[in-house]
Amino acid sequence: MLKPNSLNRVCLSKLLYENATYKKEHNKLIEIFKRNNIDYKYIDGTKDIWCRDYMPIQVTKDKFVQFRYEPSYLSDDLDLQSDTKEICKLNNIEPIFSDINLDGGNVVSYSDKVIMTDRIFDENPQYKDKTQLIKELEFLLETEVIIIPKINTDLTGHADGMIRFIDSSTVLVNHRDEDYKYIETGINKAMKKHNIDVIDIPFFDYKHKSKKYRDNAIGCYLNYLELGDIIVLPIFEVEGNKDKEVIEKFKTIFPNRKIETINYNSVGLEGGLLNCTTWTIQK
């Protein structure tokens, strides 16, 4: 797998700027890209803004793996299931296609490791032998696969709002003392087994008054965008936020990176943030 700091192009669904709801956030994000000379482009043929999930995984500079995109949480909403083969064709991508059902948001990677939640097993019941599924994933991704427990209340069960790599031997997680006990226990066990150090990052739960936004992502700082030497960190500027604390912590953790911040709340209300709405690759 490629290291996050080797990625030098970021791609967005065209729907992110075509939908007036996200226009302000989109424009702020593009300003950050332009200010830092980040190469960006738009993806044709998408059905929603969460392009991380349905775009292929880049394994090496010339190898892309396109997993099946049929998430159970969209089983009753087929209009939002982007056609991965059509997208790859429209955007001149020639990946290896796999029948394994896997969202890109459940793939958190470094050069020699990939972390995903056990939602991978739920989405692939045809694999009675879980070890066989892991072996096939490791073969396709050319790296070790580490499994952590999913958050049971999370609709998607993705890993990218739970854990991120700093380097091959260190990860960031949502503060374990404030998380569910089974998540704390599961992460501790998995990281200890693989000799990975853990750094806790503050988070908070934002209770929106509307039931429509009950599953919002506001408060999840770990769903940041990493691209080369730039980290684009979501801040929330709402009651109960921990923005200042997290910004200072990121500056300490990443002393050689430039930390850009953005209020991405219109997107966050829909249940995802920066990593969810971007697809990062090495050109």
Q: Which of 14-18, 168-172, 212-216 has the lowest mean pLDDT?
A: 212-216
The pLDDT of residue 201 is 98
Cβ burial of 255 (10 Å; 0-12, 13-18, 19+) is exposed
Amino acid identity for residue 264 in this structure? Y
Q: Beta strand 39-43 with 225-227: parallel, antiparallel or unpaired?
A: unpaired
Report pTM: 0.96
Fold held by 4-281: L-arginine/glycine Amidinotransferase; Chain A (3.75.10)
Confidence at 218, pLDDT banded by 50, 70, 90: very high
Q: To the nearest whole number, what is the mean pLDDT of the chain?
A: 96
Cα–Cα dist 96/140, whole Å: 9
What would the mean pLDDT of 260-264 be, rounded to a whole number?
98
The pLDDT of residue 156 is 95
Q: What is the pLDDT of residues 115-128, one digit of tens each?
A: 999 999 999 999 99
The domain limits of the chain are 4-281
What would the mean pLDDT of 76-92 be, rounded to a whole number?
91
Q: Beta strand 230-235 with 258-263: parallel, antiparallel or unpaired?
A: parallel
Q: What is the pLDDT of residues 19-64, one digit of tens each?
A: 999 999 999 999 999 999 999 999 999 999 999 999 999 999 999 9
Residues 232, 198: contact at Cβ < 8 Å?
A: no
Cα–Cα dist 183/181, whole Å: 5
What would the mean pLDDT of 249-273 be, rounded to a whole number?
97
